[in-house]
């Protein structure tokens, strides 16, 4: 089973390149990809997918599940109408704090600060100086910050991001609030028959947290979503902001303890019968129609990576 990992769909992905980076699909390509999935593969929803993996139902030929991470407003405004037209069910994983506060996930805020600052140098918390003269130097400083910030959660994380925005005197504008869904839109996805799940509270790398923080990120996001949406939340996606891996056996155990039935990772590959449903692999959809067809056909034919 091919579980596709999308994030965002927009008419013109370039307009958000400084914040969202390369995770945005163009509307034109996404629509063509969904038409192909509906026509040439077998779209299934995540609940069915869980039953196949657990051996409770037979796999159809070439099953494909569409998923979205993070909770961007275009998921509701742009992607859902296309999915509905094509008859493709999807699962949308929400970063609860980002929807609650209408702020971009922290990696996007940091990317914007490092890419657009006028400062030519920056000193990190360990007093290490970084040059920010060229795009490559900015990218290196950004990635080093991500490696540290992915181990933080909650208020500590928020304070750290704010400090960098202040140090670099560069911060995403208020209009970026409109890039995140609100709860009414999340409920709208659910009303339209799509599945909504958790992408944690504050988007850390769960493999690098203390166990109390892992528990909070998994169970508090589930609890808050259930309050906001009014239905049980059974599915989670482990964020992958930086470092590898983005889950461990502890993550899996804590997901089960929190009451999740399935969890998707960012490990590349197909999901198979008898896989642990709390460690499902996904495929990254390429930015072209032929690329996605090739990826899926190659994976279903059993060819390596």
Footprint on this chain of Zn ion (rule: CB under 5 A): 69-70, 239
Is 70 or 217 the residue whose CB approaches Zn ion more closely?
70
Is 69 or 279 the residue whose CB approaches Zn ion more closely?
69
Closest listed residue to residue 265, CA positions, set 128, 95, 39, 69 = 69
Is 7 or 261 the residue whose CB approaches Zn ion more closely?
7
For residue 199, the minimal CB distance to Zn ion (Å) is: 6
Output DSSP code: residue 136: H
* Spatial separation of the C-alpha atoms in residues 185 and 291, rounded to whole Å: 31
For residue 20, the minimal CB distance to Zn ion (Å) is: 11
For residue 70, the minimal CB distance to Zn ion (Å) is: 5
236: which strand partners? 198, 263
For residue 251, the minimal CB distance to Zn ion (Å) is: 15
Is 22 or 133 the residue whose CB approaches Zn ion more closely?
22
Closest listed residue to residue 219, CA positions, set 201, 231, 246, 237 = 201
Is 13 or 239 the residue whose CB approaches Zn ion more closely?
239
The single residue listed with the structure tokens 């060229």 is 134
Which residue is at the shortest CB distance from Zn ion?
Answer: 69
For residue 7, the minimal CB distance to Zn ion (Å) is: 7
* Spatial separation of the C-alpha atoms in residues 179 and 72, rounded to whole Å: 6
CB count within 10 Å of CB 128 equals 10
């Amino acid at each position: 089973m091919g579980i596709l990992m999308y994030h965002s769909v927009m008419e013109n992905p370039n307009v958000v390149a400084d914040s969202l980076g390369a995770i945005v699909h163009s509307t034109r390509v996404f629509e063509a990809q969904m038409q192909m999935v509906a026509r040439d593969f077998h779209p299934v929803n995540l609940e069915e997918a869980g039953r196949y993996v657990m051996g409770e139902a037979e796999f159809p030929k070439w099953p494909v599940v569409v998923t979205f991470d993070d909770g961007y407003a275009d998921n509701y405004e742009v992607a859902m109408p296309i999915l509905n037209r094509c008859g493709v069910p999807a699962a949308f994983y929400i970063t609860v704090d980002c929807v609650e506060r209408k702020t971009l996930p922290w990696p996007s805020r940091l990317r914007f600060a490092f890419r657009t600052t006028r400062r030519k140098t920056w000193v990190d918390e360990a007093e290490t100086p970084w040059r920010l003269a060229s795009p490559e130097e900015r990218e290196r400083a950004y990635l080093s910050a991500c490696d540290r910030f992915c181990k933080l959660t909650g208020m500590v994380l928020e304070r750290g991001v704010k400090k960098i925005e202040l140090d670099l005197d560069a911060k995403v504008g208020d209009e970026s609030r409109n890039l995140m869904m609100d709860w009414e839109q999340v409920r709208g996805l659910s009303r339209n028959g799509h599945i909504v799940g958790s992408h944690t509270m504050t988007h850390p790398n769960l493999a690098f947290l203390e166990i109390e923080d892992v528990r909070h990120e998994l169970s508090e996001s589930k609890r808050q979503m259930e309050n906001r949406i009014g239905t049980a939340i059974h599915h989670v996606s482990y964020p992958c902001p930086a470092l590898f891996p983005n889950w461990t056996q502890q993550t899996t155990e804590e997901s089960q303890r929190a009451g999740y039935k399935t969890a998707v990772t960012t490990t590349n590959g197909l999901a198979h019968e008898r896989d642990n449903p709390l460690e499902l692999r996904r495929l990254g959809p390429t930015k072209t129609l032929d690329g996605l067809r090739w990826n899926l056909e190659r994976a279903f034919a059993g060819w390596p990576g």
